[in-house]
Structure 1
Amino acid sequence: MKFTDGYWMTREGYQLLSPYEIHDVRLGNQSITVFATHRHLENRGNTLNEPLMTMEFSSPLSNVIRAKFYHHKGKVRKGPSSFDLLPNGNSDVVIDNNEQFVSLTSGDTTVKITKKHPVKITYTYKEKILTSSGTRSTAYVKGDNGKHHFREQLSLSVGETVYGLGERFTPFVKNGQVVDIWNEDGGTASEQAYKNIPFYVTNRGYGVFVNHPELVSFEVGSEIVSKTQFSVEGECLEYFLFGGETLKNVLQNYTSLTGKPALPPAWSYGLWLTTSFTTNYDEATVTSFVEGMAERDLPLAVFHFDCFWMKEYEWCNFEWDERVFPDPVGMLQRLKAKGLKICVWINPYIAQRSALFDEGMKKGYLLKRADGSVWQWDLWQYGMGIVDFTNPEACQWFKDKLSALLDMGVDSFKTDFGERIPTDVVYHDGSDPQQMHNYYTQLYNKVVFELLEEKRGKGEAALFARSATAGGQQFPVHWGGDCEATYESMAESLRGGLSLGLSGFGYWSHDIGGFEQSSPPDLYKRWVQFGLLSSHSRLHGSTSYRVPWLYDEEAVDVLRYFTKLKMRLMPYLFGKSIDSSSIGIPLMRAMVLEFGNDPTCDYVDRQYMLGDSLLVAPIFNPEGESNYYLPHGTWTHFLTGDQVQGGAWRKDRFDYFSLPLYARENSLIPVGQEENKPDYDYAEGVTLHLFALQDGATATSVVPTIKGEARLTVTAKRQGNTITVSSEGKATNWSVLLRGIDAVSGANNGQISNHDQGTIVVPDSGATTIVITI
């Protein structure tokens, strides 16, 4: 929201009250409180009829600074007044208070407030300035209409770029953009977003989280070009600044405060196939798809039933439409006998024709209007009401309906919608509807995720969620919403996923082939490549099926090739997913996250790192051409073995069975022996591909079990022409493949099975050491 009229003027109807000089400082045990005047106090008379600004600084975690500003502290804020944060209390800090400034240091991150005019708030990490708030930046904004705001402006340095703010489909670098944190069902082609997160990071190495669930307006270099501004309505403003050695450390600190992504079950990484949205389907149709995939040797892990598994006009009643699914229990048993997991579509809305509507209305489980009537409208479904998840009884009621489906054999839920939440409603617990608009999705997804954990056990819960807010990363997986079947939409989907990853979310998917319209065969095959090299992979559409044989026979071959490639990569992908959940970094990573010291990566948004070792550059044109950037170092094409030197842009042409998929130097990537399913014993028969290990470098790989535990740890070290490979753990017939090296002159405690390829096969053993001369 803009409050200024150019550089000098304030917009009509607003008055800005900014801290002018410090009047007093009070030191707490682990915090400081600063009182600032809005003008110079020439005498005692100036203290009359004049407001102060109260500024509190503390730290909930090491390298995290909390800043909270007040005008009238006693103003009641109905819930949810903030997001649920994990640490309670304050972290140990060091406070310095002298004549010139007062400062608070947490870890290596410091906030310093000058005492004389002009008041300046400066944030540093190891004495390096991260950002600051200076003259006229922090402000309480009085509105002539009675609506008041708080705003902060944090400086942007020359060349500083801003990322995140949720799953945004606008340009990846947010500089110059106006971003309103307000969940909307807007597709993937506009400034609206399903997942709005009031958190951003910059290439300068810090992050900022505005702890307000309600509307937060960001002006990222779009009001004052050298500042990121954020504002909220009300009498207070709270935000957190995160320091760290790298952007990975910043995300680690942020997710330590708002929650780590849960680790999805291994089966969820397999290929998902859906009925699509408005297509006609019954058990015969579903079975034909499943059998068609099996006949064509297309590994399938999950089958998803979209909206019309329930009767039209009755979403949601959580009952199978008996006209087309007369034997749902038997059908699910037959599908699960084929080794499939089952997902069904739900949303948090109850249409009037649903048998549940009267029950929910009678018991007070639906959102109400101020007069006590149920809030309803006809958008999406006729007479639709909305479940009130602030009512514990309504939560249990909702869980009970879903629990019956789990008892039938359902394994997962696609938690669709949750964005169109009205503000003219009354909540059971008295929550503020403005603050609940974004936060509603957190309650919705949490209820469903917790049920899955209760019924299936921890580690087995997986959603396919569309909406989210801060903290929603705890309930994976999320997908990118309604995209079009175009290359442009494919690219905007990737931008959204990369932005979401820089907002604390670990796992993300998208509709392969595009949701709206039907893609031509060319686009479908290119999207298959992208989709199977994503965290999670789902074939889904709106009005047409997404089985590959409806496109052409080559599409079948392409889908088979990349599905099986992903299955073989599962030891690597699942291992990196464990890192994502424990550290809080995404599996699909923007280049700037891995290569923060390479300025070329600041704007790169058409490629990504899959984990820390594989670079993926999807192809966004029918010509098969790719313009992609390889950072400095030696890169090896994972599929062909070709080695190239990085530090430059490349332009190449690829057929449908290839794309830029490069392994980073000094990488040790485990590749499994199973290509038909995602959940298997990753260590048995695993081959560890060693890529361009440089002299003096070390590469380590941890091969996990499907429960997330370490099974086999292998470390390779190189000194001159000698590579020493050591292991911990036990596996049968695992091997090390030296990619790009075709001359192995000796190996100790191992057997050379393929001299030309430099493969060392290790017999059944525990700890092993192999010395290889190259």
Structure 2
Amino acid sequence: MNKLKTTSLICLLILLSNFSIGQTSDTLIIKNNSDRNWWAGIIGLGQLMPLQKDIDVNTYGKGFGNQIQPLLLSDQGDVIWSESPLHIILKSGQLTVTSKDKIIHSDGHQNLKGAYLHASNTYFPPSGKTPDEILFTSPQYNTWIELMYDQNQKDILKYAHAIKNNDYPAGVLMIDDNWQEDYGKWNFHEGRFDDPKAMMDELHDMGFKVMLWVCPFVSPDCDVYRALDKKGYFIKDKSGQTAMIRWWNGVSAVLDLSNPDAKKWFRDELQRLVDEYGVDGFKLDAGDARFYTGDLDLNGLTPNDHSKLYGEIGLDFPLNEYRAMWKMGGQPLAERLHDKNHSWEHLNMLIPQMLVEGIMGYPFSCPDLIGGGQYISFIDGAIIDQELIVRSAQCHALMPMMQFSVAPWRVLDAEHLQAVSRSIEIRQQHKDYILALARQAAKTGEPIMRPMEYNFPNQGFVNVVDQFMLGEDILVAPVVEKGARKRMVQLPKGKWETHSGKVVRGGKSLEFDVALDELLYFKKR
């Protein structure tokens, strides 16, 4: 074959990869992107979507603190998928996607909704199951901000009783890190828990379901490490030695969950806690792909694959929560956003990140902790912004899940505390609708919380990321700006009933007064 023919063939292949339906390759280039808006499966960067600026991100061994899917969707009906991590470059109007595996690009799915439903049905079909339904019907309470590393029986019960004494409904109570004897030694610490079974019984009698924090790490200083190391249950480095992984709580070994025996050991440890103490479920933390990078022997898998193996543990426990995940769309796993700072900037990330979560196949999602989950925001004389906690609670109220950690009754005055209580009332009024959407998501894959563009394609809502649809019928427009007492809402065409019962006509932007204790939402008439 001469050079001219070779060059022509290469050009033809590039052209086909750009425009053919179903074309596969390991590099995809799409030029002249001005007519398309893209969403990528990087939940931790959801505030950048639809992609507005040049971007260069590689998801190999990197999850940006949250869930990942090897997926891109466009508002013109494009779907880009690979079974392996994607390297995504958007520059000067050209989209370049590379992967070590085949990249499948299909188009013609009309709009964002059509593209998502094709991706869901093709690559991560819904399982038909939801996580434990209490995650949707009641608020969740995490002990982290109040107790941090001093998890103990006395203060956990004190926190639980305070929830009830303040007339908050019982729900899931998550006992966070450091309840255990050591990392990998999953026993209640005897110095902090006098009678853990009695504690569990008391919490159950109060109406709570209880989750325990766990991780895939094992401290090298404990006897469990020595026993498991002899059995070869840990990730090794290239020299064949057990690898020591640096994470936020020091340096530890990490379970090799590609080893069926190691996976069984971990699952059995969790089941023992269920059987012996009546634990209802687990917050499975620290499964980030980044912990499996470096000079490691991964048995031919990617770091992301090891994150997925950790995710599979949760399938055995319907009451679960994850923060990091890879390629587990459509599964009955509760996915939480990465810890946010106690700041208005981070509050503004909640809606766009949650919206991307839904259209990437993770409908059972939780928007971090009310007021922020970064403990450093609440220590060393930190100033608490009471209004921020109120507006954060209102954001959570009509999202798929609602989770507290900092105790509102401890940090708020009467006015702000009443406003938070009002957000819980709104949640309780809509819990049956939210649960119905969760059950629908389990069957159809459709998000519970949806971008405006998803429900109303090609009507000018592409860049509206400060309001959202709850299912088909409820539009939610929280206040996310400090001091705001007015809010512009972009209403689609038709009649909409406000939260106060007034009927307004859409098809335009309208400004509404919003008191401190108000959450704007509208029902389609």
Map of 1:153-192 to 2, 5 A cutoff? 153-167=29-43, 168-175=45-52, 176-184=54-62, 192=64
Question: Post-superposition shift, 1:243?
Answer: 4.5
Q: Which of 510, 520, 525 in structure 2 is aligned with 1:660?
A: 520
Corresponding position of 1:229? 96
Q: Which of 170, 180, 183 in structure 2 is aligned with 1:300?
A: 170
Task: Indicate yes or no: 2:215 matched with 1:347.
Answer: yes
**In the alignment, residue 616 of structure 1 is paired with which amino acid?**
V
Q: Which of 303, 306, 319 in structure 2 is aligned with 1:437?
A: 303
Report the RMSD for the aligned CA atoms in angstroms.
Answer: 2.6
Question: Post-superposition shift, 1:661?
Answer: 0.6
Higher helix share: 2
Q: Which of 615, 623, 626 in structure 1 is aligned with 2:475?
A: 615
Corresponding position of 1:211? 83
Task: Indicate yes or no: 2:411 matched with 1:550.
Answer: yes
Task: Answer whether contact 2:157 2:199 (CA < 8 A) is retained.
Answer: no
Task: Indicate yes or no: 2:493 matched with 1:628.
Answer: no
Larger radius of gyration: 1
Task: Answer whether contact 1:366 1:385 (CA < 8 A) is retained.
Answer: yes
Task: Indicate yes or no: 2:7 matched with 1:40.
Answer: no
Q: Which of 1, 12, 19 in structure 2 is aligned with 1:132?
A: 19
> Residues of 2 paired with 1:596 and 1:229: CA distance?
25
Corresponding position of 1:511? 369
Corresponding position of 1:285? 155
Corresponding position of 1:199? 71
Question: Post-superposition shift, 1:172?
Answer: 1.8
> Residues of 2 paired with 1:579 and 1:165: CA distance?
22
What secondary structure does 1:511 align onto? coil
What secondary structure does 2:185 align onto? coil
Task: Answer whether contact 1:211 1:240 (CA < 8 A) is retained.
Answer: no
Taking a change above 3 Å as real, the CA distance of residues 412 and 172 of structure 1, as seen in their structure-2 partners, is same
1:588-617: CA deviation from partner (whole Å, max 9, x where unpaired): 111111111212x01111111111111111
Corresponding position of 1:531? 396
After alignment, is 152-161 or 502-511 more displaced? 152-161
Taking a change above 3 Å as real, the CA distance of residues 238 and 287 of structure 1, as seen in their structure-2 partners, is same
> Residues of 1 paired with 2:512 and 2:2: CA distance?
60
> Residues of 1 paired with 2:186 and 2:274: CA distance?
11
Task: Answer whether contact 1:504 1:584 (CA < 8 A) is retained.
Answer: yes
Task: Answer whether contact 1:179 1:219 (CA < 8 A) is retained.
Answer: yes
Question: Post-superposition shift, 1:406?
Answer: 1.1
Q: Which of 418, 421, 425 in structure 1 is aligned with 2:292?
A: 421
Unaligned runs of 5+ in 1: 1-36, 54-116, 124-130, 141-149, 186-191, 453-460, 666-774
Task: Answer whether contact 2:487 2:511 (CA < 8 A) is retained.
Answer: yes
Q: Which structure's relative contact order is higher, taking Cα pairs within 8 Å and 6+ residues apart?
A: 2
Question: Post-superposition shift, 1:555?
Answer: 3.6
> Residues of 1 paired with 2:523 and 2:292: CA distance?
44
Task: Indicate yes or no: 2:284 matched with 1:412.
Answer: no
Map of 1:310-325 to 2, 5 A cutoff? 310-311=180-181, 314-325=182-193
What secondary structure does 2:340 align onto? coil
Question: Post-superposition shift, 1:496?
Answer: 1.5
What secondary structure does 2:325 align onto? coil
**In the alignment, residue 208 of structure 1 is paired with which amino acid?**
I
Task: Answer whether contact 2:67 2:324 (CA < 8 A) is retained.
Answer: yes
Task: Answer whether contact 2:386 2:412 (CA < 8 A) is retained.
Answer: yes
1:318-346: CA deviation from partner (whole Å, max 9, x where unpaired): 11111111211111011001111001111
**In the alignment, residue 336 of structure 1 is paired with which amino acid?**
H
What secondary structure does 1:196 align onto? strand
Identity of aligned residues (%): 19
1:609-663: CA deviation from partner (whole Å, max 9, x where unpaired): 11111111121122233232111111111x2011212122233331232122111
Corresponding position of 1:706? none
Task: Answer whether contact 1:445 1:475 (CA < 8 A) is retained.
Answer: no
Count of residues in correspondence between the two structures: 505
Corresponding position of 1:483? 340
1:214-254: CA deviation from partner (whole Å, max 9, x where unpaired): 4x21112x1xx333210135xx6332426435433332221
Unaligned runs of 5+ in 2: 379-383
What secondary structure does 2:391 align onto? helix
Task: Answer whether contact 2:365 2:400 (CA < 8 A) is retained.
Answer: yes
Taking a change above 3 Å as real, the CA distance of residues 241 and 354 of structure 1, as seen in their structure-2 partners, is farther
Higher strand share: 1
**In the alignment, residue 199 of structure 1 is paired with which amino acid?**
L
Corresponding position of 1:244? 109
